[in-house]
Structure 1
């Protein structure tokens, strides 16, 4: 009677389990590559749609760009024709569109009518102020909404949950410009016995430098950041609360409690990580809004960012500047949405299959 014997392993060969797992890893990598390619193609199509929309939509704002850029000043026909030729407005509409798209893909967004400067340079000059203001606000209200949302869901139905959710819904429904004006009246100008504590406009006083300048900017940021945080944190709170409520009935949480884990550990280690997918997606979308800033809030507080620049461009209207800002705002949203889509499979492997 003979017994079956296994052949000795060949030196340098992969072990059996590694050979079995390799095709699975390659398949997962190919699946993720197809997923990335599909999302990138969708983002490219969205960006093309933004270029088309920004070109044709804002031409409805002004039928005579020459009059807009000269503020209606009397001009001879020769002068008007010179300006049209200088800005390419004498060309057919299709040629203007192709030139605009080609320039936008190269980073050339045209020349501003009212500032007589390249649109890209104007945007680059105002972008840091917007990133500072709205970036700070997004980080603060995302963290605040995530923290309050997890605790509201974990204590669902209790008084603290009802109060937290009610306050969030109330502030979310308040227009940001109205809340900003209210804060200016109460804490900027002063109301009754309450003195004015914070500046009401601008980014700095203009007579400081070094550490004093940093403190001055932070002082000017208090009211606009408070306005954005008060209006914006509710969305993160409600999405986090809803996602966590969906996870709280899971069997894995019951198992974790049966193992003797404390309630705070169950929430922190198991429930919250599995409920983060919608919240993370929304946080990245909010980061896309950082480039756009807040037009109304920046206008109320005279913050020298892209939001105020967009308001100035619309008031003329300055078509190249409006178009360029629209492309930047929409492009930032598309980019952040793409990043969120690419991160989702790492948070939940079921995504992208």
Structure 2
């Protein structure tokens, strides 16, 4: 076995040793406690919202009938004590169930399941494109700190970082989708049943504008974070030693600097993965994309308490789980995380 192989194997073993059972258990317990807190907070948060769901969702002609409204409030459980409704909420969660949606006229679990994959498809595609392009741009800009490429990349990223996603989406619709514009892409929806294109190609055609709006803003975030991390590592002593061994500049960056500069970007990546499930509410609303973001907007207009509780619980759980995975992966990349 060569010296390089022995060194690489020793580094791998040190990283695995950093992931001790105590460390893992601490992170898992912390995530579970946080999820429990979010679950309880989630229930009471939507109970203090203004609005009368019974009036909103009552059949036409009955929202002015006091007897009909009272009967509907009782069917919605509004007359029960808060503690009884809260215990029922916890019991449903323990059995993997949620209540019935007022606005969607179906169980909340079914409503969320129908909108889950469209959201993952839209936000996941934008995230993958943004992470790859943004980290590549940030690494090159930070490594060439002060160059023309760095100044142009930083200025462009700061500009796009400050742009609201929904505003960019509206501009893209006006320019590329409206009749007064180029009219190259659909204005809204996920597919068109009248289209002659294959289904997957029709969906891809509908995805172009919303994915572009999300990707441009996400790229700016990844670029700025990676650039800052590379600049912090650029003049480290271990990189000078790598250069002294005769490695080319690109090899020093790719083999040594990127690994230590990756942790902040990895944090952002896993946070973004959590938000992939929640989607971009504003973008899905602007483009009428049938995902969880649009479902949240529809639930807020009610307010549809059971649906709101369900979607925001899914959003919170996704972020907590992705943070947990990130915490467990950190020591495998850099054992100093465990020591800290």
- Show the counterpart of 1:52: 40
Structure 1 position 229 matched with structure 2 position 215: yes
Structure 1 position 145 matched with structure 2 position 130: no
Structure 1 position 199 matched with structure 2 position 189: no
Structure 1 position 184 matched with structure 2 position 170: no
Q: SS state of the match for residue 346, structure 1?
A: helix
> Please, which of 269, 275, 295 is the counterpart of residue 283 of structure 1?
269
- Show the counterpart of 2:88: 99
Give unpaired runs (5+ residues) of structure 2. 1-9
- Give the C-alpha shift of residue 60 in structure 1: 2.0
8 Å CA contact retained: 2:58, 2:69: no
Q: SS state of the match for residue 198, structure 2?
A: helix
In 1: Cα distance, 2:115 partner to 2:108 partner: 11
Q: SS state of the match for residue 135, structure 1?
A: helix
In 2: Cα distance, 1:332 partner to 1:75 partner: 42
Structure 1 position 74 matched with structure 2 position 64: yes
8 Å CA contact retained: 1:247, 1:271: yes
8 Å CA contact retained: 1:285, 1:333: yes
Task: Kindly provide the CA deviation profile for residues 289-324 of structure 1, in whole angstroms up to 9, marking residues without a partner as x.
Answer: 001000110011111111111001101111110111
Number of aligned positions between the proteins: 325
- Show the counterpart of 2:108: 119
8 Å CA contact retained: 2:210, 2:283: yes
> Please, which of 244, 252, 267 is the counterpart of residue 266 of structure 1?
252
8 Å CA contact retained: 2:58, 2:72: no
8 Å CA contact retained: 1:68, 1:318: no
- Show the counterpart of 2:289: 303
TM-score for both structures, normalised by structure 2? 0.90
Over the aligned positions, Cα root-mean-square deviation in angstroms equals 2.1
Compare 68-77 and 313-322 and name the one that shifted more.
68-77
In 2: Cα distance, 1:52 partner to 1:63 partner: 21
In 2: Cα distance, 1:99 partner to 1:338 partner: 29
1:211-226 aligned within 5 A: 212-226=198-212
Give unpaired runs (5+ residues) of structure 1. 1-20
- Give the C-alpha shift of residue 95 in structure 1: 1.5
8 Å CA contact retained: 2:51, 2:303: no
In 1: Cα distance, 2:81 partner to 2:45 partner: 17
In 2: Cα distance, 1:49 partner to 1:240 partner: 33
- Give the C-alpha shift of residue 103 in structure 1: 1.3
- Show the counterpart of 2:6: none
Structure number with bigger Rg: 1
TM-score for both structures, normalised by structure 1? 0.87
1:332-347 aligned within 5 A: 332-347=318-333
Task: Kindly provide the CA deviation profile for residues 78-97 of structure 1, in whole angstroms up to 9, marking residues without a partner as x.
Answer: x4444344333332101111
